[in-house]
Amino acid sequence: MQLLPSYLSGSWSPGSGTRQTLVNPTTEAPLAEVSTSGHDFAAAFSHARAVGTRELGALTFAQRGALLGALAKAIHGAREELIALAVANGGNTRGDAKFDIDGGAVTLSHYADLGARLGSAPLLPDGEPIQVGRTARMAGQHVWAPRHGVAIHINAFNFPGWGLCEKLGPALLAGMPVITKPATATALVAHRLVELFAPLLPPGALQLLVGPAGTLLDHVGPGDVVAFTGGSATARTLRAHERLVAHAVRLNIEADSLNAAVLGPDIELASETGALFLADVVRDMTQKTGQKCTAIRRVLVPEARQAEIEGALRERLAGIVIGDPAREEVRMGPLATAQQLRDVREGIARLAAETTSIFGGTGEVTPVGVPAGKGFFVGPIVRATPTPLACAALNDHEVFGPVVTVGPYDGDATLAAQFVARGEGCLVSSAYSDDRDWVARFVRTAGAWAGRLYLGSSKMASQSPGPGTVLPSLTHGGPGRAGGGEELGGERGLHTYMQRVALEGDASVLKSLLA
Ligand code: NAP
């Protein structure tokens, strides 16, 4: 069986120590192994600091953008191979795999274009010059300057392709060398991406660790950035990491999220906006088997419509074929790991204690085309609660699978926003209404509790990608439970990897620095 090597200090090496096996979550067949120790992390950090920083620092934004363009092209060239890896190692259907792989290419292309626009700017302005003296000669100007450190990227299991690219694009464009660490269980896609990317990048710009982080973070220092995506328990460990605390290392966290979808009181289910709402809920439940950080988990609907909506969800979900994701007719594959299956089952049991079943019971299924007893499968589940704001199992615990809970409300926009807030901070929440006053009231309160608010309406329904799709031009991240981080958002995404500095001096000198 293949022992996956890491790419550290400019060479591929499998490491040593005990081994961990990567499996196909549909069949549980072993696919590859990784070793859990034996890497020289001190040398990898030195390589990034000495070689990567110098090589990337010698390039303009436009030149680094061109490198990102080449990476996006490399993904296109190996698309089918990458999709096959995502199907085998991630339990992805072809559609799920495309979402991950194409999403990575789109994000890299976005940052390639941004690099071309930024050209050879030495610093990025942050706002306009400000008069700070008696006359206009004495001025202030905020700018973003390059940071001189290493970006350490730690990613979750669910998006091994997009997750790698959405962090890599902004960091490389900003000029920081990267050490990327995918989640071990689904590392095959990320490993192949780095095989494709490494020859296209300057020495030291990109390194890869496959396998557990071990002592990796013991080597971070001032100027470095750690960008993490994963569960809140791991996030807590990182926040308290002695080395990160001691050196005030910048830490960006993307963690759990109990995303809500709210149907406005003006919307009939048969309308265009009603159809958008239903399609978004069903897509978020089933795409990637609900293993999307942005997926809708909590659904709030006007009391008078609840029965109709539950009926429509039952009907749609009954048509979803679950099984081997390599088969064309299958719309939903397994969860990605055995641990995921345990966690999701535990989450369903918690919900079952406080809610009633509308569809799918506790998730037992007989998957199509899968040997009996094999695979990490759970079916889509809809639960209901009469008291959505008071239901602790719904609002306090993220079930990272194909599960939503529906509850009623009286149609009040502020109450709808309070429901969003009850999740204590989410990546995205959505509201579906064609009533602008209702939407305005909703946004005023809900805005504090979400990184992104998706406002579904009849005017945008025909071109909407849904709330679950993260766009490189908009920020991704959310307050509170979601980790408090922020990524992407076009040029904003570079700021994690740069330092804002307030310059103060002669106005003409400040102007020349930005030329
Ligand atoms: P996880 O168990 O927290 O793992 C995430 C990553 O952290 C993996 O690469 C893991 O490596 C690594 N890791 C674990 N312990 C570590 C430590 N002590 N030091 C350094 N790295 C460590 O999360 P997951 O199960 O992969 O992902 C599921 C969670 O991610 C869900 O809760 C979901 O909400 C969240 N998520 C959030 C977003 C977002 O954008 N906000 C996106 C996707 C997922 P190993 O795999 O080697 O253990």
CATH architecture of the region 259-472? 3-Layer(aba) Sandwich (3.40)
Q: Which residue type does 124 have?
A: L
Per-residue pLDDT of the chain (515 residues; tens, 9 = 90+): 899 999 999 999 998 989 999 999 999 999 999 998 899 999 999 999 999 999 999 999 999 999 999 999 999 999 999 999 999 999 999 999 999 999 999 999 999 999 999 999 999 999 999 999 999 999 999 999 999 999 999 999 999 999 999 999 999 999 999 999 999 999 999 999 999 999 999 999 999 999 999 999 999 999 999 999 999 999 999 999 999 999 999 999 999 999 999 999 999 999 999 999 999 999 999 999 999 999 999 999 999 999 999 999 999 999 999 999 999 999 999 999 999 999 999 999 999 999 999 999 999 999 999 999 999 999 999 999 999 999 999 999 999 999 999 999 999 999 999 999 999 999 999 999 999 999 999 999 999 999 999 999 999 999 999 999 999 999 999 999 999 999 999 999 999 999 999 999 999 999 999 98
| Ligand 1 atom nearest to CA at 159 | 43
Residue 514, phi-psi category: left (phi > 0), alpha (psi -120 to 50), beta (remainder): alpha
433 is written with which tokens?
């209404």
| Nearest-CA residue for atom 26 of ligand 1 | 156
| Ligand 1 atom nearest to CA at 181 | 9
Residue 473, phi-psi category: left (phi > 0), alpha (psi -120 to 50), beta (remainder): alpha
Shared fold status for 41-255+486-513 and 259-472: no
429 is written with which tokens?
């929440």
Is residue 314 within 8 Å of residue 359, measured between CB atoms? Answer: yes
Where in the chain are the domains? 41-255+486-513, 259-472
How far, CA to CA in Å, does 238 sit from each of 1, 179, 218, 231, 337? 33, 16, 11, 11, 23
The fold for domain 41-255+486-513 equals Aldehyde Dehydrogenase; Chain A, domain 1 (3.40.605)
Coil, helix or strand for 19?
A: strand
Active site residues: 254, 293
| Nearest-CA residue for atom 30 of ligand 1 | 230
How far, CA to CA in Å, does 335 sit from each of 43, 149, 449? 36, 36, 28
Closest C-alpha among 31, 42, 36 to residue 2? 31
Ligand 1 lined by 214 (C-beta under 6 Å): no
* CA–CA dist 56, 477 (Å, integer): 27
Ligand 1 lined by 479 (C-beta under 6 Å): no
Strand bridging mode 498-506 / 178-181: unpaired
